[in-house]
Amino acid sequence: MTTSARRVAAAYAAIREAERPEVWITLRAEADAVREAAEVDERAATGTDLPLRGMVVAVKDNIDVAGLPTTAGYPAAAAVPATDATAVALLRAAGAVVIGKTNLDQFATGLVGTRSPYGAVRNALHPDRISGGSSSGSAVAVALGMVDIALGTDTAGSGRVPAALNAIVGIKPTLGLVSTTGMLPACHPYDTITVFARALDTAVRATAVIARPDGSDPRSRSWPADVRIGVADRPVVAVPSAADLTALDQVSRASWEAACARLAKVATLREVEIAPLLGAAKLLYEGAIVAGRYAAAGAWVDAADGADAESLDPTVAGIVRGARDVRAVDYIRDRAELDGIAALAREILDGCAVLAVPSAPLHPTIAEVNAEPLAVNARMGTFTNFVNLLDMAAAAVPASSRADGEFGVTFIADAFDDQLALDVAASFLAGLPTSAPLLVGEDASVPLAVFGAHLRGEPLNPQLVELGARFVGDVVTSPDYRLFALNTEPPKPGLVEVEADGASIAGELWRLSPAALGRFLAALPAPMTLGRVRLDDGSEVVGFGCAPGALAAADDITAFGGWRAFRRAGA
């Protein structure tokens, strides 16, 4: 059996062993999935790059998979698409094998995972407690090891709350970075496809595969020319004030305090008041924005009778029907209010890389949700509902586990600052400064080689950090250069290419956006220049040089092999 086929077989074995039928709405025949896996391995044998080869995927059942019915958790809505959703097609093209469609809160409306005629999805670790919705089945499939990756969707927190409650990772990208073509909306235009995985690195790899522009999606967006892709080794992270944490139950408050203590080891915490952001969340259900729910599912709810009406979740149906008569003037008013809150959010978070919040304020039992379905669900979205409304990105990661539930932390960033949220999340998980894999496509950034005052720990390095540049690694040039100590303040070296008697010079490689590189070049003082520098692997990158006239009074320090060695020598 081939590599991918073995993983597929193991996935079906895990499904049988788990005995969690409520996780799935439709499961592919194992033989079909094994055949597809064998085809993946055949493609790999021809040299095709397949970054997700050997991984199996579950797909939330409001996202199309060719040949499998899409129900959105409502049997009468079932339709069999002829083509994959764009995100699904990209995963398959990268070598992943889809094995089925997962259960969800009906019409992707809810944060509890109990609102489905296909059964309440029990938590992966605490079966008496909720799994979180609406992407309940996807999160549990990942948490139980049935699949490596799962697609969910997120409007009000459905890609983050289930991640927290099942101790996995959930990435909610900036709206538009992942195509929603082939996804049934929940509340247009605030929906996005999300990714679940057990490890942050895996989740980022999968998200990078599907974060592609799509001409068939009118709301598709590309990385901007000034995207930030790096944070400081010790970034400033905003955390809510005590007054903004009243939704936390007692055990979750203790977990949050422990998470903040852990975060403080890798970041500088700044307490801010986020009450306006939390207030924005109310517009999703208590304001006119809820009209989007009726636009998405109203036709099905209104037409339901007989057996179809019996399969409607009463809570979901009530929300949808309640959104039917929203006045257009009220919708315009609430959209304008959101614009104002979004501007205020940028002021509140100015100077901070990200905002850290609890992913969920409590982890209730299924019985508690059944007793108060609306109240508990509303509370679950306290720290998630505002994010898409304000066009922000988020990464949810596990923080602590206890006998009576799970607790997670979400790192929230401004639109297109997804990488910042991921990198802070990576440092939080590791307990030391580190970074996640690069989500931003390499075509959206430019490599820059530095050899002196812009190296890490040197006085001008903050200039790169402030531009959102990202450290890639140590490099050395080809043996065609000489290095000179220039008479500048602060001290800097000058790198010069020579035809003979050259040497390899040590430096660092960074990446930054094209716009950031332009600003960097515009502010570059004489005698420094930027040009092409050849590295020892034969590649050429943008790098530092200097004007020839500056070398007249400069000392040749090539023998040291680099600026740091020269400085260490006390020269």
Task: List C-alpha distances in Å: 171 to 177, 203, 206, 241.
Answer: 12, 7, 10, 25
Clarify whether 134 is annotated catalytic.
Answer: yes
Residue 280 near residue 389, CB atoms below 8 Å: yes
State whether residue 229 is helix, strand or coil.
coil
Q: Which of 131, 158, 179, 255 is catalytic?
A: 158
CA distance 387 to 278: 9
- The answer to whether 443 touches 225, Cβ cutoff 8 Å, is no
CA distance readout (Å), 504 to 471, 482, 492, 534? 20, 8, 18, 10
Residues with Cβ within 8 Å of 506's Cβ and at least 6 positions away in sequence, in order, are 451, 474, 475, 476, 561, 562, 563, 564, 565
Contacts of 545 (CB under 8 A, 6+ apart): 494, 495, 496, 497, 528, 529, 530, 531, 533
Match 């990756």 to its residue by tokens: 149
Residue 265 known to be catalytic: no
Catalytic residue among 116, 134, 400, 445: 134
Residues whose CB falls within 8 Å of the CB of residue 332, separated by 6 or more in sequence, listed in order: none
Annotated catalytic residue, options 4, 60, 172, 311: 60
Terminal-to-terminal C-alpha distance of the chain: 62
- Let me know if 216 is a catalytic residue: no
Among 183, 111, 110, 147, residue whose Cα is nearest residue 23: 147
Spatial CA neighbour of 478 closest among 461, 458, 499, 452? 499
Q: State which H helix or E strand residue 370 sits in.
A: helix 366-371
Catalytic annotation, residues: 60, 134, 158
